[in-house]
Chains A and B, each alone.
Chain A
């Protein structure tokens, strides 16, 4: 019962470096999404996907890329990290993209950009 798995749990980057945050789910969920959590601001949606090959932007997509080549995986890419991207990132998935389908969150990745 792995659920939603995020790796790594912690990461420190220097400004300008690139990296990929990994997210995998084993529940055959069609819908996957990425949120970032910043102090005093709750969680904000970065990108989401309603199925393999389909992605769309959320509230704060700038500086991030995503792809969905398989149902299981939804990586989040930072091409050139900036200090403003220091945050905790959560991946979430649900069986469908409908709002009444429970959303399952991963345990988060804490990213620091210096």
Chain B
């Protein structure tokens, strides 16, 4: 079965704190993609990153970083020095190569960054 679990329903931090959002996935496929999307209060979905299963290198983009570990089936997302504008719901998703672009989403983590 294919599944994405985001165990943290809500996280609240104070501005400038670092925060890590967890994502654990399940699939028997050897080739797949993992995604992170941000949904700010305005409601749109903003693409953050796509990573394929053959690339386990960690990625850093400004204050954002991603840690992909196949050994633990995890694709965690860290925001360094959080800001109020980071407040949003963040979704992790699994995409499978043998299907026609079917993304399997986690239930999302709501992040609140307090000033």
Contact with A along B35-56 (1 / 0, CB 8 A): 0000000011101001010000
Chain A residue contacts of B33, Cβ below 8 A:
99-100
Chain A: which residue is nearest B108 at the CB level? A42
A103 to B6, CA, bound (A): 21
Task: Tell me, yes or no, whether A34 is within 8 Å of chain B by CB.
Answer: no
Q: How many A-B residue pairs have CB under 8 A?
A: 59
- How many of chain A's residues have a CB under 8 angstroms from any CB in B? 28
Closest to B105 in A: A42
Q: In the complex the two chains form, is A105's CB within 8 Å of B45's CB?
A: yes
B14 within 8 A of A: no
Complex formed: what's the CA distance from A103 to B102 in Å? 11
By a CB distance below 8 angstroms, the chain A residues around B47 are 102-103
| Residues of chain A with a CB closer than 8 A to B43's CB | 88, 107-108, 110
State in angstroms the CA–CA spacing of A40 and B45 once bound together: 16
Whether A100 pairs with B107 at a CB distance below 8 angstroms is no
Minimal Cβ-Cβ distance residue in B for A44: B105
A41 touches B100 (CB 8 A): no
Residues of A within 8 A of B105 (CB): 35, 42-44
Q: List 29 A-B contacts (CB under 8 A).
A: A33-B101, A40-B9, A40-B107, A42-B6, A42-B93, A42-B105, A42-B108, A43-B103, A43-B105, A44-B105, A50-B100, A94-B101, A97-B100, A97-B101, A98-B101, A100-B33, A100-B50, A100-B52, A101-B101, A102-B47, A102-B50, A103-B101, A103-B103, A105-B44, A105-B45, A107-B43, A108-B43, A108-B44, A108-B45
